[in-house]
Structure 1
Amino acid sequence: MSSLFRSEEMCLVQLFFQTESAHSCINELGHLGLVQFKDLNPGVTAFQRRFVKEVKKCEEMERILRYLQKEMVKSNIVIVATKEKEMVPCARDVLELEPSQSDTP
């Protein structure tokens, strides 16, 4: 009889993606839930990483969207849940959500 806490058999692989396809490939792997990512540069601080600006933009956009969701709930505006697989937006879609400098007062 197998133990309830026994791990599944795993193997360590290294994947290389072309820059253009990396976003969609990582998104699909994440939705499968069968991968674990390992930091190959543990000594590098967060501010020395390659995509720091993009991550900060995403965090700020996430904060804004949470605020809008909270305001919609307060105003009794119905938020329709979809049954579609949630896709992570690509970088250009996130930039479209961001207010441009001309939009700010």
Structure 2
Amino acid sequence: MGSMYRSEPMSLCQLFLQTDSAFASVAELGELGLCQFRDLNPDASSYQRKYVHEVRRCDEMERKLRMVTEELTKDGIPIPDFIDQIPAPLPRDMNELEVC
């Protein structure tokens, strides 16, 4: 596994992905941890972005999980650490996670 130090050889690549496979591809690249993403639309506001709704859902889910973690910690209930990486949930699984 490589690292992201400046002295490491790097390549600048541009990917063009179909909308259907974009999530799975970016999730896989993110789990590898060996790539860096650049914003090609830095002047666009957050409301002009295509995936604003999904990002807000993830922020809300993170807030809920943080609250549950704080309550478990406050009550002295141990939270097990995972050694293996947990893969990113698919977009269709977000509905199930939100309901729980």
Does TM-score exceed 0.5, indicating one fold?
yes
Q: Which runs of 4+ in 1 moved over 6 A?
A: none
Aligned to 2:26: 26
Given the superposition, is the C-alpha separation of residues 97 and 6 from structure 1 closer, same or farther in structure 2, using an over 3 Å criterion? closer
* % same residue: 48
Q: Which moved more, 1:33-42 or 1:82-91?
A: 82-91
Higher relative contact order (CA 8 A, sep 6+): 2
Name the Cα RMSD after superposition: 1.9
Query: CA offsets per residue over residues 37-85 of structure 1, 9 Å max, x none?
Result: 1111111001110011111111011000000011011111121222222
Give how far 1:99 is off: 3.6
Give the structure 2 partner of residue 42 of structure 1: 42
The structural deviation recorded for 1:20 is: 2.4
The runs of 5 or more residues in structure 2 that have no matched partner are none
- SS of 1:89's partner is coil
Residues 96 and 10 of structure 1, relative CA distance in 2, 3 Å threshold: same
* Number of residue pairs the alignment of both structures matches: 96
The amino acid across from 2:17 in the alignment is: F
- Comparing 44-53 with 72-81, greater Cα deviation is found at 72-81
Alignment of 1:63-74 (within 5 A): 63-74=63-74
Distance 2:71 2:6 in 1: 44
- What TM-score do you get using the length of structure 2 for normalisation? 0.83
Aligned AA for 2:69? Q
- TM-score using structure 1 length: 0.80
